[in-house]
Structures are given as structure tokens and as C-alpha cells.
Amino acid sequence: MNENMQQYLDKAQVLIEALPYIQRFNRKIIVVKYGGSAMVDEDLKKQVIEDVTLLKLVGFKPIIVHGGGKEISKWVGKVGMEPQFINGLRVTDADTMEVAEMVLGKVNKSLVQHVEELGVRAIGISGKDGGLLRVDKKLSGGEDIGFVGEVKKVNADILYDLLEKDFLPIVCPVGMDDDFNTYNINADDAACAIARAVKAEKLAFLTDIEGVYKDPEDPKTLISELRVDEAQKLMADGYIGGGMLPKLQNCIDAIENGVSRVHILDGRIPHCLLLEIFTNRGIGTAILNGEESRYYHGE
């Protein structure tokens, strides 16, 4: 057998190795929080879309929830708006919200475009469509910082209906309060709320860090596997700080509300989703409930 042939056989072998994973997640819902570098870098973006599209095609039911962070700031500046602050916090006033919604909508349709290009049926919605995300105003340290919402109800039916019609739903984190005003929602929060509402098998956060560290200063302390009680202890002991704190809280929340497993992935690694799901190479940190091991052994 020549070298060329061997190369093809190796390819076949990779596909065969994916078999047990394809089986395991068949018809399971996987919520992917898409953000960070993976959204800015065109190559990474293409790879994330490829990954999610592949998951859809081999029988999973992925849902993408995305943010739009840096783009929003760019456009707020572009239209010459004056940022407002309360106690040092940026305020999302009505004008800012208008721009934010426009930018998130643009990002949303751009993701639809990429998925459609790969031949899969996508639909881009916001939390307004079908009343998907109902919010309350979210105060920050007791202060009203404008149209920033926290999800109080997810109307999961709309997602089930779209999944049943074989759409890949792409959701941007905008919602309405009981008076039907528009609110911005933190994309992590939205992804977590949706994952809980649909009892997702997996919730994966694409981030710009390698995972959770015991000591953020020391890359060697990256934690591969974290049980809910361990995570709570880490938080209580003050090991977790900065932006990781609310993210980890979201993870624990999700696990405690029926999501089987949450992943904090390094979105800067190409195809990190596929690697996590289809190979035995663990990427980033997996948050599990108490009884499970990270790696699946048989059934």
C-alpha cells in the first residue's frame, strides 16, 4: 500500500473514531455561546461555523447564541454618540440600545449567511421573535444603567418549533420586558438561560482564555475537569475573579438546572468545538455535576 493510500485510510479512521460521539449526541441539543476572538478573526469564524454546521448535519441540534461586543462600540462611535456613565458604568440609553440592536442584527444575519453558504438551513432571530426572551431590568450595584435586562422567562417553544422544522437557530441577545421595551442581554446569560430552558445536553462557551485556572497567573494550573461542588469551593475560596466569576456562576446554574455538561472552550483554537466533541483531547474546562467523569466510557 503506497503512502498516498495510507493517508486516505488515516482519514477513514478519523471518521470511524467519530462514531461513538455521533451516536451519543444524536438529536441532542447543544447550545454554543459564540463570542470573543472567534468572532473577530475571519478564519476562526469560518471554522466555528463549519463545526456547528457539521454538528447539525450529523444529527445534533445546535443553537448558536452570539454577542456583538466590539462591533457595537465601533458603531456607537461611528454615529457620533456621547457615552453616558452612572457611577462609572456605561449606560445603555435608548439611543445606544437602538444602535446595539442594529449591530447585533447585522452580526446575526452575517452568521446566517455563513451557515447557509455551507448548505444548512439557518434562521437568525432575536429574543423578540416569538417572545423568546422576556426580561426584567437588571440593576448594577443598585444603579439603573438603562436598557440592560436579565432573562426572567424563555419561551422555549419557539426553539423547539424551529428545530423541528430543521432550522439551525442563531439567536442574538435582545429581549423585551413586560411593557415590550427593548433590552440588551449579556450573551453569556442569554446562552445559559436558553440552555436551561431547553435542557441542553451541552452548553459550550467559546472564550478568549484557555479555561479555568486555579491560579490565573500560572498557566500550568489550568483545570480540565471541575465538579459543581469543586467550582463552588473555588469561588468561595476566592480563586476565581474577574469576568470568570459570573461565567462560572452561569455554568453552575446551568448544570443545576438540567444541562448535562458545560464547557469553557478556548475559541482561539481552530475547530475547538469538534476537538472537544469528537476526540478524546479535552479542550479547556468541563464543568460536570458530581457523579460524572469527564470522559465517556462505554454507555
Binding region for a copy of itself (CB under 8 A) out of 30-38, 112-120, 193-201, 210-218: 112-120
SS3 276: helix
CB of 102 to a copy of itself, least distance (A): 4
Q: Is the dihedral of CA 241, 235, 224, 48 positive or negative?
A: negative
Contact status: 152 vs a copy of itself (CB under 8 A) = no
Instruction: Please report how close the Cβ of residue 103 comes to a copy of itself at its closest, in angstroms.
Output: 7
| 289 labelled binding-site residue | no
Phi and psi at residue 252, in whole multiples of 5°? -60, -45
Integer-rounded Cα radius of gyration of the chain = 20
Q: What torsion, rounded to 10 degrees, do the Cα atoms 86, 90, 96, 101 define?
A: -130
Binders in 270-289 for a copy of itself, by CB under 8 A: 270-271, 274-275, 278-279, 281
Q: Considering only residues 15-34, where is the footprint of a copy of itself by CB under 8 A? A: 15-20, 22-23, 26
Q: Following DSSP, what letter does each residue of 178-189 receive, concatenated?
A: TT--EEEE-HHH
# residues near a copy of itself by CB under 8 A: 74
**Residue 136: other Cβ atoms inside 10 A:** 14
Task: Restricting to residues 74-93, name those near a copy of itself by CB under 8 A.
Answer: 75, 78-80
Q: Binding site annotation covers 69?
A: yes
Cell of 47: 471554522
Question: Which DSSP state fits 91?
Answer: P
Cβ closer to a copy of itself: 11 or 233?
Answer: 11
Q: Which residues contact 43 (CB under 8 A, 6 or more apart)?
A: 270
Site string for a copy of itself, 177-216 (x = CB under 8 A): ---x-x----------------------------------
**Which of 90, 109, 137, 199 forms a contact with a copy of itself (CB under 8 A)?**
109
Return the amino acid letter for 194: I
Residues in a beta bridge with 134: 153, 176
CB nearer to a copy of itself: pick between 57 and 245: 57
132 close to 175: Cβ distance less than 8 angstroms: yes
Q: Crossing angle of helices 69-78/94-117, nearest 10°?
A: 130
Choices 85-93, 144-152, 172-180, 257-265; region in contact with a copy of itself by CB under 8 A: 172-180
Binding to a copy of itself (CB under 8 A) within 40-69 occurs at: 47, 50-51, 53-54, 57-59
Out of 131, 216, 246, 258, the residue judged to bind a copy of itself by CB under 8 A: 131
Q: 112: part of which helix (H) or strand (E)?
A: helix 94-117
Query: Which grid coordinates belong to 104?
Result: 447585533
Rounded Cα distance, 289 and 168, in Å: 28
Closest approach of a copy of itself to the CB of residue 35, in Å: 19
Measure the CA–CA gap between 55 and 32, rounded to whole angstroms: 11
Residue 171: CB minimum distance to a copy of itself, A? 12
* Beta bridge partner(s), residue 205: 33, 264
Query: Applying CB under 8 A, does 125 fall inside the site for a copy of itself?
Result: yes
The answer to whether the annotation marks 88 as part of a ligand binding site is: no
90 is in an annotated binding site: yes
Of 28, 128, 199, 214, the one binding a copy of itself (CB under 8 A) is: 128
Nearer to a copy of itself, 120 or 234 (CB): 120
Where is the binding site, in residues?
68-69, 90, 184
Where is the binding site for substrate, in residues?
68-69, 90, 184
